[in-house]
Amino acid sequence: MASRVMALFGRREVVQTAEVEAAALRSDRFRQEREGDWRRLDAIVTAMEKGRLRRLSDADVLDLPALYRTAASSLAIARETSLDAATLAYLEALVQRAWFQVYGPRSSLAVWLRQFLGGGWSAAVRAIWVDILIALAVMITGTVAGWLLVAHDPGWYYALVPQDFLDARVPGASREVLQGTLFGQDKQDGMSVFAAYLFSNNAQVAILAFALGFAFGVPSLLLLVQNTATLGAMLWLYHGRGLTLDLVGWLAVHGTTELSAILLAGAAGLHVGRAMAFPGQRSILAAAQENGRRAALVMTGVVLMLIAAAMLEGFARQLIVDTPTRLGIGLFMLLFWISYFVTFGRRGAEMGAEP
């Protein structure tokens, strides 16, 4: 009995050894048949990664796509047949590197930024003009609604305005107190906190307005209404003491840039939501992908606008204390953004911003 068991184990060891040797033979043969193409592809990719494209021959450049497809096919076979781990790891790394050279971006960050600012961003914004008009109408409606609600019942002020704003800026405050929040030197620390809160809040609103666009754009529009209702309530408060223009000037320095960024973010979110709600002849996924790429391009610019608004809030608003100059800066920035988006880069590259 023991001899039979030993014989059985011996046969299994022989079979396993034969299987291992056969697998190794298949792996070696597989590698030998294709290794020449892999090495050539590796050499071409390495030269391109090191910026030595001029040293490559025309044949190497022309053969790159075919060599990449051959390596990708070899990788698929290696995975299916469970070849040795070393071959599999080598092919995975080679195919990944080759993919970036065949299909990856062809321009550097500086080139991309020049194309982006030179027409790509403005073209993307122009392509979503319908969504911008809808978002603008919603923001105006929210501002008016906030004003009317507080005018009808001042108790709404405490519901619309965040608690962080409720220091001296409350219904019943005198003109001198409210004016001091805009111009009083003893209130500058508090107003700096107020301005920082405005920027932080508006940045969050911009990001959320875009991110929530996937729900057919409805949450994006509601967020715009909520944010601008707060603005309407504040305008009502200062208007009651004859300080409307002073408040607008205080906000305009950075507000025209900041509110424009929120407008574009809301429009970008709505652009994605409209594509999902009304895909037309496209599938919902294809429509969302197409509009999403365009909206993402717009949002990249929104980030730059928010940075610009932070610079204006941190320096210009703090240094300038007279209303006419504040209004002038705000108006200049508003006209700058409008002229840039409407006219700039019409003859340049559209960067995928087709309507």
Q: Do residue 261 and residue 187 come from a single domain?
A: yes
This prediction's pTM: 0.67
Q: Do residue 132 and residue 238 come from a single domain?
A: yes
pLDDT value of residue 350: 42
pLDDT value of residue 188: 52
Total domain count for the chain? 2
Q: Do residue 249 and residue 320 come from a single domain?
A: yes
Q: Do residue 279 and residue 331 come from a single domain?
A: yes
Helices (H), the chain: 2-49, 58-80, 85-103, 109-115, 121-127, 129-152, 155-160, 175-183, 188-211, 218-239, 244-277, 284-311, 317-319, 323-343
For residue 334, being part of any structural domain is answered with yes
**Residue type, position 276, single letter:** M
Q: Do residue 80 and residue 132 come from a single domain?
A: no
Q: How far apart are CA 169 and CA 119, in angstroms?
A: 43
pLDDT value of residue 207: 87
For residue 168, being part of any structural domain is answered with yes
Domain boundary among 68, 84, 103: 103
pLDDT value of residue 354: 41
Q: How many residues make up the chain in this entry?
A: 355
Q: Do residue 237 and residue 318 come from a single domain?
A: yes
For residue 352, being part of any structural domain is answered with no
Q: Do residue 115 and residue 75 come from a single domain?
A: no
For residue 351, being part of any structural domain is answered with no
Give the model confidence (pLDDT) of 121-138 as tens digits: 999 999 999 999 999 999
Block means of pLDDT (10 residues each) for the chain, 355 residues, are: 50 48 60 84 87 80 86 82 77 87 68 83 93 96 96 93 77 89 59 62 84 87 92 94 93 92 94 90 86 91 90 77 91 95 69 41
Q: Do residue 299 and residue 152 come from a single domain?
A: yes
For residue 38, being part of any structural domain is answered with yes
Q: Do residue 97 and residue 115 come from a single domain?
A: no
For residue 1, being part of any structural domain is answered with no
Give the model confidence (pLDDT) of 268-322 as tens digits: 999 999 998 888 888 888 888 889 989 999 999 999 999 888 888 777 767 788 8
> φ and ψ at 107, to 5 degrees?
-115, 155
Domain boundary among 82, 103, 124: 103
pLDDT value of residue 327: 94
For residue 197, being part of any structural domain is answered with yes
pLDDT value of residue 18: 47
pLDDT value of residue 197: 64
Residue 53's domain comprises 9-103
Q: Do residue 160 and residue 90 come from a single domain?
A: no
pLDDT value of residue 189: 52
> φ and ψ at 248, to 5 degrees?
-60, -40
Q: Do residue 95 and residue 118 come from a single domain?
A: no
Domain boundary among 72, 103, 134: 103
Give the model confidence (pLDDT) of 26-37 as tens digits: 667 777 788 888
Q: Do residue 174 and residue 260 come from a single domain?
A: yes
pLDDT value of residue 157: 93
